[in-house]
Amino acid sequence: MISRIDHVSIAVKDYEKAVHFFKDILGAIPGAAAGDDHLKYFWQIFSLGDLSRIEILKPTETGSFLDNFLQDKKEGGVHHITLQTPDIRKAIMKLEENGIAHFGLREYGDFWKEIFIHPRDAFGVLIQIAEFHPDDWIHDSLRFRNGEKWAVHKIEDGCMIDIANPGGGKIRIKLNRDEIRKLVSDLDQVQKL
């Protein structure tokens, strides 16, 4: 039902300060971003390392759905956790079969389908379950193009291999010369099967 945790969403009062912290200090790479005039907020995805992502949310005007959440918080806090599912309809069926309430079904074409589980039903955490393609939400530099699954880069004492991650982006592995020989031997053995 669940492929993985995609990101943790953090609602903040001072967006610029949060971006400085995550981007300039921790090295996060900005990805997709958008605003919602109806709910009066702005969101942006940030990638950290190979596989971790956060989303920063900020209210854009008074009356934002984030107002109540941020009211008692000094700077902000974790708003929700987003779990990726390969099939939102099957996820809904599984929840309903087990008597778990959900709300907020929204479908934005083929690129995003979501539901939420209220914190009272999920041990104090707002959970968003969404069906989507992870590479659609990260910076171009973090994903492969044209369906590639790996790339090899020579370095002084071996190579770096970038491998496509099913959760979006790339995983980077550094191999020395001995590890390269072992990998080639292992691949050769697999090919003979």
pLDDT tens-digit readout, 174-186: 999 999 999 999 9
Beta bridge partners of 57: 11, 43
Please give the pLDDT value at position 166: 86
Please name each of the domains of the chain with its CATH number. 4-137 (3.10.180.10), 144-192 (no CATH)
Residues 163-170 have a mean pLDDT of 90
Return d(Cα 21, Cα 102) in angstroms, integer. Answer: 33
φ/ψ region of 49 (left if φ > 0, alpha if ψ in -120 to 50, else beta) reads left
Cα separation, 82 vs 50, in Å, equals: 18
Residue bearing tokens 């995003």: 112
Q: Are 164 and 45 in contact (CB under 8 A)?
A: no
Quick: pLDDT tens for 65-116: 999 999 999 999 999 999 999 999 999 999 999 999 999 999 998 899 999 9
Strand ordering across the sheet containing 29-36 = 29-36, 41-48, 52-59, 4-12, 76-84, 127-131, 112-117, 103-108
Pairwise CA distance, residues 122 & 14, whole Å:
28
* pLDDT level of residue 145 (50, 70, 90 thresholds): confident
pLDDT at residue 4 is higher than 80: yes
pLDDT at 51: 78
* Mean pLDDT within 39-48: 97
Whether residue 130 has pLDDT greater than 90? yes
